[in-house]
Structure 1
């Protein structure tokens, strides 16, 4: 397995080393392996996880708090699926409610983005209508 130092991961992801350490501290990414000298060593899987966090923040517009909630839900569901542990019905209902809230939040963001895109398209259309053609 190939290991990457924090400098390499920072270059690969476009994040600063400080941001990577912060994301680790607040639980957005799992703590990486450590070398004998206590340097952080990241795997390809770690880097993919960081790219997913970046995607969720930049593309989906998740706040750090929303990301933490999503990752906590995802981990709970993963543990339930892998271990076949029974989750009490009340907790399952709460998890379902949280997922429904996140889906609703995404739908609202998508609608706002679509509205903004429509506004930009209208401005562009108006601009194209006002640009003189070569024949004029």
Structure 2
């Protein structure tokens, strides 16, 4: 799972494609209501609007939506957890920008250190989710073992 900010923008790309809410909903396999809700919750920036006040989304918006969807589906994050994760991503992007603009080596090192700190915070969120899943998995394996013992006992009694 990659984040759109991990990709360097192509300096040769000068045109911006815009998508309607219907197009984005179809491509992301989400409802228009979900997209509006993500915007209301602050998971997405306010969409640009046409003169007719229709939302229009950029490719960057679409990539963020797909990232949110993967966090929700793949990792099982709640919207609150996703908001924390995305805030960390946004802060890390600010650090990346400041790093690129910085001329002083010490400044660059501070930006790298802060980026590492942010990544570690994100790893904690992922590790917590993974530990919860491992615990659930272990409980299910224990139930299967208990059923196998009961099955064995019943088969021995029936013989």
TM-score, length-normalised on structure 2?
0.61
Match of 1:47 in 2: 62
Match of 1:34 in 2: 49
Gaps of 5+ in 1: 127-136
Paired residue total: 122
Residues 55, 112 of structure 1: alpha-carbon distance in 2 compared, 3 angstrom cutoff: farther
Gaps of 5+ in 2: 1-15, 149-159
Counterpart secondary structure, 2:68: helix
Q: CA deviation at 1:32?
A: 2.1
Q: CA deviation at 1:10?
A: 1.3
Counterpart secondary structure, 1:67: helix
Residues 55, 113 of structure 1: alpha-carbon distance in 2 compared, 3 angstrom cutoff: farther
Match of 1:24 in 2: 39
Residue 70 (structure 1) aligned to one of 68, 85, 93: 85
Larger-gyration structure (1/2): 2
Q: CA deviation at 1:100?
A: 4.4
Residues 52, 94 of structure 1: alpha-carbon distance in 2 compared, 3 angstrom cutoff: closer
RMSD (Å) for aligned C-alpha atoms = 3.2
Counterpart secondary structure, 2:75: coil
